[in-house]
Amino acid sequence: MLGRPSLQRRFALGMLGYMVLLSIVVLAFGWMVNERAEALVWRSLLETEMEYFARHADDEEWRPRDSDLLEFFVAGPDTTLPAGLAELRPGLHDEVAVDDRQIVALVRDTNGQRLLLALDITEFERSERELALTLLFSSLAVVLLLGLAVMWGIGRLLRPLRELAQHIGLLRPDTAGQRVAVPARASAELVVIVEALNAYLGRHDQFVERERHFIDSASHELRTPVSVIAGASELALEATMPAPARVQVQRIQRTARNVEQLIEMLLVLAKDPARLARNSDRIELDQLLVEIADDHRHLCGEKSLQIRVMAPEPCEVVAPMGIVQAAVGNLLRNAIENSDSGEITMRLQPGAVVVIEDPGHGMSPEQISAIYARQARGDGRGGGGIGLDLITRICAHLGWELRIEPREDRGGTRATLDLGVTATLTC
């Protein structure tokens, strides 16, 4: 939206353009009317005077009594007309320049004589220009004042719309039961928009609630058979069996634990953060990292990989135990799957920040960008695996911060999980 003109500005510019255009039209029309009226006045005045002078033009003893403004000429061999008047044809001629004066002249041919009556309108033209400038500046002042008034008026008209936009901007996607209040002085059209938006928010709450209920129900239904599988595998491992069979039962047990973590993460997505925070546990994070590392060492059996935990200081956080185990476990499992040999380090930094670095071929910048793109779209499909997709969604759900980036110095990938963003901690 940056760079786009506001609705208030568009309205104001439109009204200002309309007023400027209207002022130009009015001034142009006034000028045309003035010129027409002026021509009629000059013609009427000079025609009357010409009748008087024409009656005495044949009298050789008669001499016209010219004034400072009005002059009468009878064109002839002995008559010298001022420059600019000799070339005039019969009729009325306005604003004729003679020396430094403005003249309106009436020329008439009578009885073989050419009569010319000239009226000096220099002072009149000067007054007319002053009046025109006064009207022009007055019009500009009126347009400016009206523009300011229009800006103020449009601002008041659009204030309810801005208030509505602010209310919409405060809506949170993870909060149910939100509604937009009708702004004060809202118009009937704005009330219709608010009612339609509130109706949509109500339908959205119902949809989210149905989705949460479905995920909750499905996860609980899956818990029972997975628990049976996990319990049966533990009992089976207590019995004597061939080594190949024991390996397969252990694999069944590990798979059951992974499915339990997956179900736990799905349950998190079915709950709101407030309910989840009330069910949090006090966790000694430094010891939990050691346990998670021990649980995943068997995945390094067929690879030349080692897992080293670096937790120099005790750290205690208040967070959901199962979610922390699932998140850190999935990040560690992803590091193991993307590494062939070397050492995977798990560091616990101050502020409950867990950093997992692997030495493997790592994830390309395109794969990392795809994970964040899917997180932004809310799309769980893609090549990153369901584990990373769920972790990114859970971090956004709980307010944690997850960063995945390639290690430029030694190769591989670095995953940083910041649990201290929202968790109550002592470390």
pLDDT at 77 over 80: no
CB hemisphere CA count around 5 (13 angstroms) = 8
pLDDT digits 0-9 by tens, 144-154: 888 888 888 88
Would you say the pTM of this structure is higher than 0.95? no
At a CB cut-off of 8 Å and minimum separation 6, what does 415 contact? 331, 334, 335, 355, 356, 357, 402, 403, 404
**Number of CB atoms found within 10 A of residue 307's CB:** 21
Determine contact, residues 272/174, Cβ cutoff 8 Å: yes
Q: Which two tokens stand for residue 333?
A: 């499992």
The single residue listed with the structure tokens 């208040």 is 318
The two three-digit tokens of residue 266, written as one number: 């799905």
- pLDDT for 98 equals 85
Q: Minimal CA–CA distance to 147: which of 25, 15, 27? A: 15
Q: Is the pLDDT of residue 397 over 70?
A: yes
Q: Could you read off the pLDDT of 94-122 as tens digits, one per residue?
A: 888 888 888 888 888 877 778 888 888 88
Q: How far is residue 187's CA from residue 168's CA, in Å, rounded to a whole number?
A: 17
| Highest mean pLDDT, choosing among 173-177, 255-259, 331-335 | 331-335
The phi, psi pair for 383, rounded to 5°, reads -95, 5
Q: How confident is the model at residue 23 (pLDDT cuts 50, 70, 90)?
A: confident
Question: Which helix (H) or strand (E) covers residue 383, if one does?
Answer: none
The predicted pLDDT at position 355 comes to: 93
d(CA 20, CA 278): 65
What pLDDT digit, counting tens, does each position of 374-394 carry?
A: 544 444 443 334 567 777 877
pLDDT at 100: 83
Q: How far apart are CA 161 and CA 412, in angstroms?
A: 51
Supply the pLDDT for residue 380. Answer: 42
Written as six digits, the tokens of 390 are: 């769920």
Cβ pair 168, 197 in contact under 8 A = yes
Please state the domain extents for the chain: 7-145, 175-271, 272-426
> Is it the case that residue 346 has pLDDT exceeding 90?
yes
Q: What is the DSSP letter of 365?
A: H
Does residue 347 contact residue 417 with C-beta atoms inside 8 Å?
no
Model pLDDT for residues 24-43, shown as the tens digit of each residue: 888 889 889 888 888 898 88
What are φ and ψ of residue 226, in 5° steps?
-70, -40
**Within 10 A of 90 (CB to CB), how many other CB atoms are there?**
13
Whether 364 has a pLDDT exceeding 60, the answer reads no
The answer on pLDDT for 215 being more than 50 is yes
Q: What is the pLDDT of residue 417?
A: 92
Q: Give 272-426's CATH code, choosing from 3.40.50.280, 3.20.20.140, 3.30.565.10, 3.40.50.720.
A: 3.30.565.10
More confident residue, 89 or 175: 89
The set of residues, in sequence order, having a beta carbon less than 8 Å from that of 161 and lying 6+ positions away, is: 7, 183, 190
User: Which of 40, 114, 105, 106 lies closest to 76, judged by CA?
Assistant: 114
Band (250; pLDDT cuts 50, 70, 90): confident
The answer to whether 177 and 205 have CB atoms below 8 angstroms apart is: yes
Percent of the chain with pLDDT over 70: 83
Q: Which CATH number fits domain 175-271: 1.10.530, 1.10.8, 1.10.10, 1.10.287?
A: 1.10.287
Percent above pLDDT 90 for the chain:
6
Instruction: Look at residue 385 in the predicted model and tell me its pLDDT.
Output: 42
Of 55-64, 153-162, 277-286, which gets the smallest average pLDDT? 55-64
Cα 353-357-363 angle, rounded to 5 deg: 115
Of the two residues 123 and 74, the one the predictor is more confident about is 123
Report the C-alpha gap between 41 and 355 in whole angstroms.
96
